[in-house]
């Protein structure tokens, strides 16, 4: 079995619609794939239908954008939450609204110095997408202002750029409790992704475990190799699951489907913890 528990479609910041994503997953030999778009469940139905057609098991998930009290960006994966749960739906709706407001203002700021408009961003994002910085990057590429997403994030869209704006987000423990309340299973995504910015100290994990954290995504290309082993030891000490995944975004990033995977017994443990009734 090849189990990839972290991927994105065009409903968030991926470049493929769920049908294209599932077709590519099948071609890559992935047998189980989790769709974990940022702050939205919108792609679930299409992903499930496509998975049945191409023979790939789909795990319904979401990636919740969080921010610690110290201002550190944190991503929390939630597997099999009830999409009708009011608390979680409220958090995700608030995050999407904040992302939209922030993205529009960033485009306005960029547009003061570069030929970029909101219409340019909408043109590359696709209908129904939760628009964020990756879509602005794609619009910059389409305009010929940068050559790649990497160049955009290193320059115009960087955290220290005059065009960058933060957006409101729940604290990690709040997101964990909401995922659990919705019957889902929370896993801390790429906890040592230092190239993205500051990471949470190990001391923050205790309160997250108390809130209901289920696992750590150790095997991820953004976690340095030597720190993956540290994460495994921490997970063992705290009684957490260890997952691995590609964090695939299509052509937007170099990540390859199935480049990191999750053990079958870990997937079964995740399924056993879910209480939403989803499978």
pLDDT bucket at 127, cuts 50 / 70 / 90:
confident
Is residue 219 within 8 Å of residue 245, measured between CB atoms? yes
Q: Which helix (H) or strand (E) holds 279?
A: none
Which residues belong to CATH 3.20.20.140 in the chain?
A: 3-93+167-273
Which of 92-96, 146-150, 152-156, 193-197 shows the lowest per-residue confidence on average (mean pLDDT)?
193-197
CATH 3.20.20.140 matches 3-93+167-273:
yes
Q: Looking at domain 102-154, which CATH architecture does it have?
A: Orthogonal Bundle (1.10)
Distance from C-alpha of 125 to C-alpha of 225, rounded to nearest angstrom: 33
- Classify 35 as helix, strand or coil: strand
pLDDT tens, position by position, 34-51: 999 999 999 999 999 999
Between CA 136 and CA 201 the distance in angstroms is: 30
Q: In the chain, where does the domain assigned CATH 1.10.150.650 lie?
A: 102-154
Contacts with 24 (C-beta within 8 Å, 6 or more apart), sequence order: 16, 257
pTM of the entire predicted model: 0.89
Tens-place pLDDT, residues 178-211: 999 999 999 999 999 998 889 999 999 999 999 9
pLDDT level of residue 129 (50, 70, 90 thresholds)? confident
Q: Which residues of 41-76 are buried (b: 16+ CB within 10 A; e: fewer)?
A: bbbbebbbebbeeeebbbbbbbbbbbbbeeeebbbb
């Amino acid at each position: 079995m090849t189990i990839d528990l972290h991927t994105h479609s065009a409903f968030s910041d991926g470049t493929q619609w769920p049908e294209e994503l599932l077709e590519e997953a099948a071609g890559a030999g992935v047998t189980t794939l989790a769709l974990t778009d940022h702050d939205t469940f919108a792609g679930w139905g299409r992903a499930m239908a496509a998975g049945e057609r191409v023979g790939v098991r789909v795990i319904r998930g979401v990636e919740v954008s969080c921010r610690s009290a110290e201002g550190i960006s944190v991503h929390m994966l939630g597997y099999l939450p009830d999409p009708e749960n009011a608390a979680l739906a409220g958090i995700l709706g608030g995050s999407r609204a904040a992302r939209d407001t922030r993205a529009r203002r960033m485009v306005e700021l960029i547009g003061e110095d570069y030929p970029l408009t909101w219409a340019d961003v909408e043109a590359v994002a696709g209908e129904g997408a939760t628009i964020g910085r990756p879509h602005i990057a794609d619009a910059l590429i389409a305009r010929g202002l940068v050559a790649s997403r990497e160049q955009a994030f290193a320059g115009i869209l960087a955290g220290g750029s005059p065009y960058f704006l933060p957006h409101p987000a729940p604290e990690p423990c709040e997101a964990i409790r909401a995922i659990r309340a919705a019957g889902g299973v929370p896993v801390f995504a790429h906890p040592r992704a230092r190239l993205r910015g500051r990471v949470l100290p190990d001391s923050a994990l205790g309160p997250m475990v108390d809130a209901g954290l289920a696992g750590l995504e150790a095997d991820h290309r953004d976690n340095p190799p030597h720190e993956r082993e540290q994460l495994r030891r921490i997970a063992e000490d705290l009684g957490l699951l260890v997952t691995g995944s590609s964090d695939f975004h299509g052509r937007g990033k170099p990540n390859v489907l199935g480049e990191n995977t999750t053990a079958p017994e870990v997937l079964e443990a995740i399924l056993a913890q879910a209480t939403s009734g989803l499978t």
